[in-house]
Structure 1
Amino acid sequence: MARSLDGLVLAPVADQAPGQVGTRTRFVYHEQDGAVWAEYEGGDVVRGRLVGTREGDRLDFRYVQLKTDGSTSSGHCVSAVVELPDGRVRLEETWEWESQRGSGTSVVEQLTVHER
């Protein structure tokens, strides 16, 4: 199992569609006793939250976000936790909106201190 996500800052490696998370979005993760949660913001997202569970190297969580246009959206995501050769963490995500149409995949990676 990869190390704890607690206190890590992650960001997408590529932009998604407009109104969604993108390379300017920052996720601050927390983890305790199998529970995971995060706050995120940046780009088209004013404020976002996610909450779920971790079993081994698998995350299963729901997310909700407020966008710059004032709209809200929510969805479900399952992620694989991968430790990169340089020791950073990558999440390989498969997500699906629950409040609107759409689904896809994305990758977020731990940022170094100077990238934050």
Structure 2
Amino acid sequence: MPRSLDGLLMAPIADDTARAPGQVGSATRFRYHESGTQVWATYEGGDITRGYLVGTREGDRLDFRYVQLTRDGATASGHCVSRVVELPDGRVRLEETWEWESRPGGGTSVVEEIRP
């Protein structure tokens, strides 16, 4: 199993959908936590004022729900399934398939660990 996500700071590097207000973007940062099979994170930046995700991990698979507040005061929520990949340099990548539950749409994205 790839290493723990606990304490990792991650940023988006790819998204297959056209950028729209209220979506995660290059300025968004995620701070992940993990304990046993539980995973959770906070995120913010760009159009996102505050976001939370919570779910489970089984091996290299994450399954979580997310909810967020945007700069214009709108809320949105959705579901995501991610594959945890350890990169050759030891950093972690999440390859994600997500869908909104509060509005139409979905897609895929990739976030990677940021090191200081």
TM-score, normalised on structure 2?
0.95
Q: Distance in 1 between matches of 2:8 and 2:43?
A: 12
Report how far residue 14 of structure 1 moved: 3.4
For 2:30, which of 27, 32, 35 is the aligned residue?
Answer: 27
Structure 1 ranges of 4+ moved more than 2 A: none
Output the amino acid matched with 1:8: L
Output the amino acid matched with 1:25: T
Output the amino acid matched with 2:48: V
Runs of 5+ unmatched residues, structure 2: none
For 2:101, which of 94, 98, 102 is the aligned residue?
Answer: 98
Q: Distance in 2 between matches of 1:60 and 1:20?
A: 19
The share of aligned pairs that are identical, in percent, is: 73
Report how far residue 40 of structure 1 moved: 0.2
For 1:44, which of 43, 47, 51 is the aligned residue?
Answer: 47
- Number of the residue aligned with 1:11: 11
Output the amino acid matched with 2:8: L
Output the amino acid matched with 2:56: T
Name the Cα RMSD after superposition. 0.9
